[in-house]
Amino acid sequence: MMLLFLKIITHNIQYMLDIPEEITQYVILPLMAAQLFLVVSLYFTFVGRHVLNQVGFFNCFVATYVLYMVGQAAQMYSDTALSYSILFFRVTLFLTICLPSLCMFLFSQCGVKLSRAWLVFPYVFGFLLSLVYVICADARHEQLMFDASYVQLLPFTMIRANHIDAEMTGLVVLSLLPTSFLLYRELTGERRSICLAFLIGAVMITSLYITGLYHQVYWLYYFGAIFTALYWSRAVYRDVKSTKSQAQYLKEQLQLSLKRDETTSNITLNNLLQQIERDSSVDLKRYKLKVREILDVLTDTTIEAGGDADALIDRNLNKVKSIIDSDDVNAIRDIAKKETIELTNMISDLPAKRSERIIFQTKLFIENNYHEDIEVASLAEAAGVSQSYLMRCFKEYTGQTIKQYLNQYRIEKAKERLADLTVSDTAFSVGFNDSNYFGAVFKKLTGIGPQQYKKETYG
């Protein structure tokens, strides 16, 4: 049924584009698949890199698989001898590097650590299978490198297409069996979505390849590649999107809790760390990256609360270095917890210190400019805050409005100047534009008018 469905698709493509069926199946499809895998590799490397536990194995698989598919198109436009040479190169690459790299990537992605021997085995086994394939295929067909006598060296009799058997064995041993094992392990274990996506994609690509090889419908390989590339891209895109949304939500909750109290922030941080440990259980590098993001949020929140930016950035860099140098999850977790407690305490102390700084700057500005026309906007600009925040902060800290403090300061200065100046000149010298208003303010604050104060104090 699947073969029929895919056959209909290829016929429709052929009909719409008016392209020969052979070109559609063995040139267009492999080139489309190759381009998709290149896009997937670039996307994973630059956008979804945190999703992959072993970028090296994955990119090695993609690079060799792309060469394998592009080689199919090259075969179509080569003479017989060159076409077989390209075929042998493609299959050797596929069995020796491509399938083993996919296998190693999947084991790493699922958190299964292999010994050095098991890391080497797939490549050696794949290489031996590729030798069997080339010897059997060449001896059976063109005899470019091996004539029929070489077949006698093999420990089996060539009664059928043994080169197909070699390729089929590679697919089963190097891909289908290990992928099925990992898939079963994941389904009965943690059921991590991104691991399941990679495993299902690998099963899909291998199954369609085996089906195509068995039925000699070779273009089926490339449909499997296209479906797998699209499926993997969708899975990683959703994971990246989900991770960003979740991380943003958790960061917002952390920022809110930091501004509330230490207990709430510690609970939020513990929940965040536990979730990160679950998601990164097999990858210490990924865990470190996530903890560093938490420290960045803590630092940003403290700076926004009024902390010293330069000192906090230096502090953050030192903590990050400690995390990078450590391979102990418990030690990394302790760094994050300790930093949360210290920065939470710092944030709780910052409002008072910030208010002190703002009030000091405001009073200093008044002392230096009381004789001029002073607006709240000028004071707010000097303190680096909004007008509303300055008025509220000043009232809470001093018990006076800015206008009340300014008038009081001016009247105190006026008392000194009345010794040598007239009432009118004194009023203008301390910032009042109206001597009558000056007199009203003076009497309100001292109980007597400026003229009477001058007479009683200075005679």
Digit-coded pLDDT (tens) for 19-38: 667 777 778 888 888 888 88
Round to the nearest angstrom and report the end-to-end CA distance of the chain: 116
98 or 237, higher pLDDT? 98
Residue 64: pLDDT band with limits 50, 70, 90: very high
Position 32, amino acid: M
Digit-coded pLDDT (tens) for 110-157: 888 888 888 999 999 999 999 888 888 877 665 666 555 555 565 555
Global confidence as pTM: 0.57
Digit-coded pLDDT (tens) for 335-367: 888 887 787 777 766 666 777 888 888 999 999
The CATH number given to 2-240 is 1.20.1070
C-beta contacts of 390-394 below 8 A and 24+ residues apart: 390/358, 390/362, 393/355, 393/358, 393/359, 394/358, 394/359, 394/362
Task: Let me know if the fold of 2-240 is the same as that of 353-458.
Answer: no
The rounded mean pLDDT for the chain is 80
Cβ contact 186:110 at 8 Å = yes
Measure CA 181 to chain center. Answer: 30
Q: Where are the domains of the chain?
A: 2-240, 242-348, 353-458
CATH class of 353-458: mainly alpha
Cβ contact 323:335 at 8 Å = yes
pLDDT at 3: 45
Q: Is the model's pLDDT at 8 over the cut of 60?
A: no
